[in-house]
């Protein structure tokens, strides 16, 4: 018999959040609160295959000082338009909390980040300098279907 850690969640219901968002960002020029440490003409230099963009939510609860969840992602290939203008987007992945930490949480911070996927070498992580904090409602909504 092997000792296997039990990672199952609590028996009571956990919060499930749905997020609808707009993103406007210029990855090359670092506008709208995003920044990059590359010259705007070299982000897709000879060694950059693609960018992996993702929107994450970060928040704290009484049980956990730090919670991080990826809500949405996109692969940007060389030649793709580096200016994002996405409207009324829904989260691509479930936004579960392992308890009831979403309901009434006033400080859920959304951040757009990306990894540079090179043809060879290290994978640098770039985090946008602009963040937005959104409050979650104090009551559960059950009328919307996604």
| pLDDT by 10s per residue, the chain, length 146 | 566 666 666 667 788 888 889 988 887 765 443 334 444 445 777 888 898 999 999 999 998 999 999 999 999 998 888 888 999 999 999 898 888 889 899 989 999 888 888 899 888 777 666 678 888 888 877 755 65
pTM, rounded to two decimals: 0.77
Helices (H), 1-146: none
Q: 126-129: long-range contacts (C-beta < 8 A, 24 or more apart)?
A: 126/35, 126/36, 126/37, 128/25, 128/33, 128/34, 128/35, 129/33, 129/34, 129/35
């Amino acid at each position: 018999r092997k000792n296997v850690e039990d990672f199952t969640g609590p028996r009571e219901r956990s919060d499930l959040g749905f997020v609808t968002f707009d993103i406007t960002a210029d990855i090359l020029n670092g506008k709208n609160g995003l920044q990059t440490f590359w010259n705007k003409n070299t982000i897709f230099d000879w060694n950059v295959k693609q960018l992996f963009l993702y929107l994450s939510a970060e928040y704290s609860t009484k049980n956990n000082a730090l919670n991080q969840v990826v809500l949405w992602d996109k692969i940007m290939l060389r030649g793709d338009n580096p200016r994002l203008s996405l409207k009324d987007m829904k989260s691509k992945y479930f936004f579960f909390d392992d308890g009831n930490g979403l309901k009434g949480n006033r400080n859920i911070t959304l951040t757009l980040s990306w990894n540079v996927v090179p043809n060879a070498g290290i994978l640098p992580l770039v985090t946008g300098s602009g963040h937005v904090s959104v409050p979650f409602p104090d009551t559960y909504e059950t009328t919307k279907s996604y």
